[in-house]
Amino acid sequence: MDEAEQRVRRTIEEYHMLDPGDRVIAAVSGGADSVCLLTLLCGMKKDWDLKLMAVHVHHGLRGQEADRDADFVRALCEELEVTCHIIKVDVRKYASENGMSEEEAGRYLRYEALEREARWWEDSDGCGGEDWDCDGGRQRRDGEGRDCDGGRQRRDGEGRDCDSGRQRCGGETGDCRNKRVKIAVAHHSDDQAETILHNLFRGSGLGGLKGISYVRGRIIRPLLDIGRRDIVEWLEENGCAWVQDSTNSSGHYTRNRIRSNLLPLIEAEVNQGAAGNILRMGKLASQADEYLRAQGECWIKGHVVRDGPEHFLIPCDLLQAEPEIIRAYVVMELLKRLAGSARDLGLIHVQQVLALAGRPVGKEVDLPYSLMARREYREISVGRSILQEKDKEVCLPQVRMCVFPYKKGSQFPKNMYTKWFDCDRIEGTPVVRTRRPGDYITLADGSHKALKRFMIDEKIPRQLRDQVPLLTDGSHVMWIIGYRISEFYKIGPDTTKVLQAEAGGRRKE
């Protein structure tokens, strides 16, 4: 057993990734990393009594090259005698419909497909066979490679085709219905270093600096302690082929630029061991994050009052007496509990809430997930937007937002309901709502004008003023939808990033 394989086995054991008899789905793109992962898992199959399945997600983006990758994975799995599912998704369509980048949409659809396959396997009557295949339409092939007309191909314990029921496995593998299916993905230590740097540059806290988790739910990452160079050397020494995804060398994606340009430059000009130091820092950040999170949860339990199912009261004086880092963890934990996710929450939102401790009573900030924080007499209240009750009966437009780099000379949208804003001038989280006391807009001369006065001057009828939809940055109105945008947020010579906001059909709040 060579060094790379020994390290992978140590990682699996250290983080308790596998147990004897586990069912494992390997995410296989056909690239070097995933081929190494699948081949190593096949080598461990007997020792761990593993039941393996490979899933390849065809993103529908690279034409014949993507088809080539799918064919390669199918052939590899036939050679290794591993079940193979080819799942087709439309990344470009999903990204367009949901205002996401193709990179983000691809990641979401990839994990969704893997999770769906895992749930199906868990819901099936057994462990899954080793000789069937599917694409986006779930086309099946039998042991001879023949297409099946419909449904999932079935085999009984003797290997015979079954006409109905879920796929079953025979007596040699036993009943594994009670074992949770695990999903193995091929992130390695270079990916870890890139992720830590990427999160650092995005303004992440310690939670982001710990990088990719070794185990997250059913997801396991056995290759996280070996690097890309180790993987390629192992494949070459073992005579394994792989395919190269052309997008991996594209400068279009941020992670590719970090991988191809930034990290090599740092190692050449700053420290040859930079990647290893980044990984060590990530492990320290993970330990610190775990400890501080526990401290924050303990403080919440002792001091925070729950004032309804979606509303917390934080005592200002007691919070201010704590170290700044504990204050930040307290607020972040409360926001995550209310939101049910940490995806769109960042340090900027924590800082906005903490800043309320030094502001007058009644000051408030809008937060992601329709949350709001407000300064009360002795507390900071955090919860669902308390002062938006009047908005609930107003049909507000759906506003899709996306961010992209600004190229000088780019043509502005001519559509009245699509506007561009200088992203770097936005201080908080843009929110669609109706007017509130204190709202204002910036005019061409740089002066502020109260929204109420603007509506009077524009001769908007009094009975309609509370129904005009706004895109706001706190009390600063970015866009009076259907009228005008604030001069403050307009694209200028120093603009580097654009927030595009497109107002569509109306929704009830």
The C-alpha atoms of residue 52 and residue 54 are separated, in whole angstroms, by 7
The C-alpha atoms of residue 329 and residue 332 are separated, in whole angstroms, by 5
32 is in an annotated binding site: yes
Q: Pull the structure tokens for residue 448.
A: 């502020």
447 is in an annotated binding site: no
Torsion over CA: 73, 78, 84, 89 (sign): positive
124 is in an annotated binding site: no
Task: Name the residue among 56, 280, 68 with its Cα closest to residue 185.
Answer: 56
The residue with tokens 């690097």 is 227
203 is in an annotated binding site: no
The one-character DSSP state at 248 is G
- DSSP code string of 387-399: GGGGGGGSEEEEE
Number of Cβ within 10 Å of residue 139's Cβ equals 15
The C-alpha atoms of residue 247 and residue 296 are separated, in whole angstroms, by 41
Displacement of CA 190 from its chain's centroid (Å): 19
Task: Name the residue among 350, 360, 260 with its Cα closest to residue 296.
Answer: 350
CA–CA–CA angle 311, 314, 318 (5° rounding): 170
**What residue type is assigned to position 497 of the chain?**
K
Whether 268 and 260 have beta carbons less than 8 Å apart is answered as no
Number of Cβ within 10 Å of residue 269's Cβ equals 9
Mention every residue, 6+ apart, whose C-beta is less than 8 A from residue 5. Answer: 40, 43, 234
- The residues with which 448 forms a beta bridge, in sequence order, are 442
User: Pairing state of beta strands 305-306 and 311-315?
Assistant: antiparallel
Q: Alpha helices, DSSP H only, in 177-241?
A: 189-201, 206-209, 228-237
Q: Pull the structure tokens for residue 303.
A: 């001091």
**What residue type is assigned to position 190 of the chain?**
D
Radius of gyration of the chain (CA): 27
Mention every residue, 6+ apart, whose C-beta is less than 8 A from residue 136. Answer: 58, 86, 87, 88, 89
Whether 73 and 54 have beta carbons less than 8 Å apart is answered as yes
Burial of 226 (0-12, 13-18, 19+ CB in 10 A): buried
30 is in an annotated binding site: yes
Binding residues for ATP: 29-34
Binding residues: 29-34
